[in-house]
Amino acid sequence: MRREELLKPETLASLRGLDLKARLVVEGFLEGLHRSPYKGFSVEFSEYRPYIPGDEPRRIDWKVYAKRDRFYVKEYQEETNLRAMLLVDASGSMAYRSGSVTGALSKLDYSVTLAAALAYLLIKQKDAVGLATFDTQIRGYLPPRSSRNYLQMLLARLENLKPGGETNLAGSLHGLAERTRKRGLVIIFSDLFDDPDQVLLALRHFRHRKHEVILFHILDPMEESFDFSSPMRLVDMETKKEASLDPRLVRAEYHRALEGYRLRLRSTCSEHRIDYNPICTDQSLEYALFRYLEKRRRLR
Amino acid sequence: MINFANPWYLLFMPLAAGPLILHLLSLRKMRRVEFSSLFFLRRLRERRFRWLRLRDLLLLILRTLFLVFLVLALAGPIWRGRFPLARVKADVVLILDDSYSTSARFHDLKSTALRLVDELSAGSSVALLSPSGSLWDTVWGEPEFAAERIQALASSRSGRDLQASWVQSLKLLDKSRASTRRVVMISDGQTRALGFLKNERTPSDVETFCFIDEAGFPANTSILNAGLSPRVPLPGEERFLRIRLGRSGKKVERTVSLFADERLLEERRTAIHEGLKEIEFRLPQDAQGVRVALDPDSIPADDQRFVLASGSRGLRVAFVGDASSEFLELALKVGIGVEVQRVSPAAAASLSPLSYDLLIWDGAGGLPAQAAAAASQGLPVLILLDGDVEDVESVFKSSGISSDGFEMPAPSALFADLKEEDRRQIKIARHARLKPAGGKVIVSLSGGDPLLLADTSQGIYYLATRFTPLNTNLIYRALFPAMMQRIASYVAKGQSERLIGDTLRVRVRSGEALFVETPRLHYEITPRQSDGGYVVEFTRTADAGFYRIGSETFVVNPDPKEASFAKVNAVELRNRGFKVYPLGASTPRKLWLFALILAAVCLAAESILILSHVFASRSRKQPKTAVP
């Protein structure tokens, strides 16, 4: 499978197992990079371990091979200089998946896959990574760890994540900001359907705690285009409230409202040095990973 | 109260519920779609959703109303207002204004009259009066009989007020023994027809009702006046026909056609911007019967006028004078078509208007008894006062005329043909100013003093001077004969011009049958004996045009006053005790067209709503999703 295809949401949607998905995303992504992002990290020797196929040959210690006639690879105790927290919005609205694209990921699936890939990448870089999920309240919290075994726990938690009820994004973020004391990187995946003033206040709370923040504003293509054709009754997935309308008549104003909301988020985030990244679920995950690496590079 | 011409169409009225049923069904069938959140729609919902709901409601109402109005239009609704005289047993004199100003709406007037008669209780009696008909042979009859007569009525071409009918109606009711007695006048409300009511009071035992058309007069152009200028030409003098046009409504362009002896001479397109317009046509020397016509409009009766240019017998003047009157007599005889015959003062008393058109008495100190006797028989009299007039009041003293009979000067066109410099030559030395309180000053001199006066009550005219070579330089002017002829013609005016409805009377010498020619008929008639002579009488002319009785020609025209657009004030009439109702209060109105228009309006509004919806959908296409 080609790298580009590995990163396509449709491809990922057809795969089972988050572990596999995360690995494929990251490996596929790294394969395409010209330079390894973690090449040249400062390391201290930790232990030798037997060579297994797939390890880089250049990491084989030839002196040990000369002595023992077996291949050993040097393991380094790398310094964990980053604590990353993945915050995944699991409110009801995140379960939305437009019917127009067959086999598309829901916003929650997309967020989970992206979060898993980043966790995989972070762990692979020996960074500590934690996970928090929330809807009206914080539903799960795993503090940041850098152990490889910890990744399985993270992935299991992500895999079992089910969409909940209404969103209280701001409240949950405030709670998490209070809970995440050590400064680090906070990566938020959410559709941000909440009062923008409150959301921005919560984001500023993270900044106040000296965290670096990457915000992935995840929307479904249909949420962006609002491309419904005939009059219908829309049912809010969170509140179950209904609204009868002719989408053709409200489309322009919907777009204006969405763009206004995004513009406001973008400008406020820029003001507070928060990386604001609007992402559509039909977009390749590569984009999100690039945004992360760019941020990571700036943190070094 | 509303009736329907085709009530069975109302059975389709339940169809109007169709849109409501469809609307409810469509609501049930509306697709239910789960969406992540109505977060961005919440704010829109307050404005846009309200409009959408309103639009849906509007469409529903418009569709329902369209069907309702369509069914109503098919059912043919007829609105009959509450009629004020319904179901009463009464003796009713019905005066139906049939003057020609009502011609455009006579149908409505008749409808009111018919409904009045139709709704009277059994045992009621109705007498019908129409001003252009005979008032004296009116009889009481059953309402059904009156209805038949009303059906047969048509608007006349004459112009009459309703005063004579009103007087006659009260006389008729005097003989009635009914407990409820009523006079009902149905008119277009023209001041000319009903203006006299301002000075009348309704009798205490008679109820009086006026049904007046509340609508304005229809857009109409009239020939108000048509006259020759000069009226009496000198030999070889050019003549013009001056006509005055009036209009109601907006400015119009009309074609004016001039016919001489039924031969088209000229057609002229003219725009009437203001209320009045005067135009002038040059007449050929040999023109006799002249007709000027407009292209017909809402009231066709006033769209033509007839003028007798020549061809009639001359002006027959009986002349009383002394030796110094010779110059005046000569001046009169110079004119074309003036027959002057000297008569003795004693013979003047027995002069008849059937024999002469005018009596001129030159050099009278006052009003001679013979002249007064002639005037009392209807012969116009012109008296030239003797002596130099130093003080105009002496005119009254010397003549014995009461100055109370004179009124303020009215503009006169008598000398309008004269040039200004010539007019200045008409001077009378040493005269004082006159301030008339009644009567009429017809001609003033350049200084504003009266020259020609009229005692309108008796039909006697006075020239405030006597033209002799001694007292004025006027006689040395060629102007004098023309002036005298025009004065004579003016005083004798109306002897050959009549209005529709007038009676024409001609005295003839023998009892031999005469040829009579009217605009419609040609026939022979045998004169009847009267006062020792023979007379031919043509009662109540009905059409405008030329009437020839033997050798005499008359011209009959519509009354220009009928073209007046003034209406009576209903409040004034109510104050005088009359019960005034609008004509529309009684006329059944067919409302199918109104319902059809409303249906069309609903359809148009619905189309606009739908089209705006389509355009809005097209113009609000989704912009390209821009994800950075």
Strand partners, A85: A130, A186
Residues B473, B475, B478, B482, CA torsion sign:
positive
The distance of B81 to chain A (nearest Cα, Å) reads 48
From B342, B94, B55, B333, select the one nearest B209 (Cα to Cα).
B94
Residues B377, B378, B382, B387, CA torsion sign:
positive
Q: Do the strands B533-538 and B528-530 form a parallel or antiparallel pair, or are they unpaired?
A: antiparallel
Say whether both A241 and A285 belong to one domain.
yes
Contact (CB, 8 A) for B208 and B579:
yes
Q: Cβ separation of B49 and A245 shorter than 8 Å? A: yes
Q: Is B279 exposed, middle or buried (0-12, 13-18, 19+ CB in 10 A)?
A: middle
Helix residue ranges per DSSP H, B245-392: 326-334, 345-348, 369-376
What's the average model confidence in pLDDT over B245-257?
84
User: pLDDT band at B379, cuts 50/70/90?
Assistant: confident
* CA angle at B114 for the pair B112 and B120, rounded to the nearest 5°: 105
Say whether both A53 and A112 belong to one domain.
no
Say whether both A284 and A257 belong to one domain.
yes
Q: Tokens 């989408």 correspond to what residue?
A: A247
First to last CA, chain B: 72
- What is residue B538's three-state secondary structure? strand
Say whether both A105 and A173 belong to one domain.
yes
Say whether both A134 and A26 belong to one domain.
yes
Say whether both A153 and A260 belong to one domain.
yes
Contact (CB, 8 A) for B548 and B496:
no
Q: Tokens 């008032």 correspond to what residue?
A: B135
User: pLDDT band at B407, cuts 50/70/90?
Assistant: very low
| Strand ranges inside chain A, DSSP E | 43-50, 72-78, 83-89, 128-134, 138-145, 185-190, 212-219, 232-236, 242-245, 275-280
Distance CA B583, CA B572 (A): 17
All structural domains of chain B? 2-28+40-80+592-619 (no CATH), 91-216+567-587 (3.40.50.410), 220-311 (2.60.40.10), 315-491 (3.40.50), 497-560 (2.60.40)
Express each pLDDT in B273-312 by its tens digit: 777 888 999 988 788 889 999 988 777 778 889 988 765 5
Q: Cβ separation of B620 and A252 shorter than 8 Å? A: yes
Q: Do the strands B181-187 and B91-96 form a parallel or antiparallel pair, or are they unpaired?
A: parallel
Express each pLDDT in B220-244 by its tens digit: 888 888 888 776 666 666 788 989 8
Instruction: List the single residue in A236, A239, A251 with the smallest CB-CB distance to B622.
Output: A251
Instruction: Give residue ranges of B with CB < 8 Å to any A CB.
Output: 27, 30-41, 43-45, 48-49, 52, 613, 616-617, 620-623, 625, 627-628
Contact (CB, 8 A) for B315 and B338:
yes
Contact (CB, 8 A) for B18 and B67:
yes
Distance CA A98, CA A106 (A): 8
From B317, B334, B327, B306, select the one nearest B232 (Cα to Cα).
B334
What is the rounded (10 degree) CA torsion for A165, A167, A169, A171?
-80
What's the average model confidence in pLDDT over B493-518?
79
Domain boundary residue among A57, A78, A99? A78
A chain contacts of residue B54, beta-carbon cutoff 8 Å:
none
Stated as kind and residue range, the H or E segment containing B127 is strand B125-129
* CA angle at B28 for the pair B27 and B32, rounded to the nearest 5°: 90
pLDDT of residue A88: 92
Contact (CB, 8 A) for A129 and A185:
no
Tokens of B392: 């105009």
Give me the tens of pLDDT residue by residue for chain A, a chain 300 residues long.
Answer: 444 554 456 655 555 555 655 565 666 555 544 333 333 334 556 678 888 888 888 888 898 899 888 899 887 655 556 788 999 999 888 888 886 455 678 899 889 888 888 888 888 777 788 999 988 888 889 998 888 788 888 888 888 888 887 778 888 889 888 888 888 889 999 988 888 888 889 988 998 888 888 899 999 988 888 888 777 888 888 888 887 777 877 788 888 888 888 999 899 888 888 888 888 888 887 777 777 777 766 665
pLDDT of residue A1: 42
pLDDT of residue A40: 35
A chain contacts of residue B31, beta-carbon cutoff 8 Å:
230-233
Radius of gyration (C-alpha) of chain B in whole angstroms = 35
From B287, B265, B280, select the one nearest B416 (Cα to Cα).
B280
User: pLDDT band at B123, cuts 50/70/90?
Assistant: confident
Residues 6+ apart with CB under 8 A from B148: none
- What is residue A263's three-state secondary structure? helix
Q: How is B52-104 classified by DSSP, letter by letter?
A: HHHHHHHHHHHHHHHHHHHHHHHH-EEE-PPPTT-S---EEEEEE--SGGGGG
Contact (CB, 8 A) for A235 and A296:
no
- Best mutation target among A224, A245, A276 (most B Cβ atoms within 10 Å) is A245
Residue in A closest to B34 by C-alpha? A235
From A211, A217, A216, A202, select the one nearest A259 (Cα to Cα).
A217
Amino acid at B348: A
pLDDT of residue B15: 87
Say whether both A230 and A173 belong to one domain.
yes
Residues 6+ apart with CB under 8 A from B382: B358, B359, B360, B361, B461, B462, B463, B487, B488, B491
Q: Cβ separation of A235 and B35 shorter than 8 Å? A: yes
pLDDT of residue B349: 87
Residue A38 domain flag: no
Say whether both A23 and A47 belong to one domain.
no
User: pLDDT band at B435, cuts 50/70/90?
Assistant: very low
- What is residue B394's three-state secondary structure? helix
From B17, B23, B22, B13, select the one nearest B64 (Cα to Cα).
B17
Instruction: List the single residue in A191, A235, A246 with the smallest CB-CB distance to B33.
Output: A235
Stated as kind and residue range, the H or E segment containing B426 is none
Say whether both A28 and A71 belong to one domain.
no
Residue A87 domain flag: yes
pLDDT greater than 50 at residue B426: no
Q: Cβ separation of A96 and B36 shorter than 8 Å? A: yes
Express each pLDDT in B11-21 by its tens digit: 888 888 888 88
- Best mutation target among A101, A168, A234 (most B Cβ atoms within 10 Å) is A234
Instruction: List the single residue in A220, A224, A234 with the smallest CB-CB distance to B38.
Output: A234
Residue A104 domain flag: yes
Tokens of B77: 């609704």
Say whether both A71 and A90 belong to one domain.
no
C-alpha distances out from residue A131 to A34, A119, A192, A205, B57, Å? 30, 9, 18, 18, 52
Residue A245 domain flag: yes
Q: Cβ separation of A93 and B616 shorter than 8 Å? A: no
pLDDT of residue B620: 52
| Strand ranges inside A110-162, DSSP E | 128-134, 138-145
* CA angle at A173 for the pair A167 and A175, rounded to the nearest 5°: 110
Domain enclosing residue A58, as ranges: 43-78
pLDDT of residue B600: 93
Domain CATH for A86: 3.40.50.410
CB atoms within 10 A of CB B163: 16
Amino acid at B270: T
Tokens of B87: 């179901």
Residue length, chain A? 300
pLDDT greater than 60 at residue B610: yes
Contact (CB, 8 A) for B129 and B164:
no
Contact (CB, 8 A) for B173 and B183:
yes
- Best mutation target among A233, A240, A261, A267 (most B Cβ atoms within 10 Å) is A233
Q: How many domains does chain A have?
A: 2
Residue in B closest to A276 by C-alpha? B628
Say whether both A68 and A129 belong to one domain.
no
Distance CA B254, CA B297 (A): 10
Residue A49 domain flag: yes
B394-405 burial, b at 16+ Cβ within 10 Å, e below that, comes to bbbebbebebeb
Q: pLDDT: is A4 or B483 the higher one?
A: B483
Spacing of C-alpha B570 from chain mean position: 19
Residues 6+ apart with CB under 8 A from A275: A213, A214, A215, A269, A291, A295
Radius of gyration (C-alpha) of chain A in whole angstroms = 21
From B367, B371, B316, B326, select the one nearest B345 (Cα to Cα).
B371
Residue A60 domain flag: yes
Q: Tokens 């129409």 correspond to what residue?
A: B130
What's the average model confidence in pLDDT over B559-584?
81
Task: Indicate the average pLDDT of chain B.
Answer: 77
User: pLDDT band at B588, cuts 50/70/90?
Assistant: low
Q: Cβ separation of A248 and B52 shorter than 8 Å? A: no
Amino acid at B341: Q
User: pLDDT band at B397, cuts 50/70/90?
Assistant: low
Say whether both A218 and A126 belong to one domain.
yes
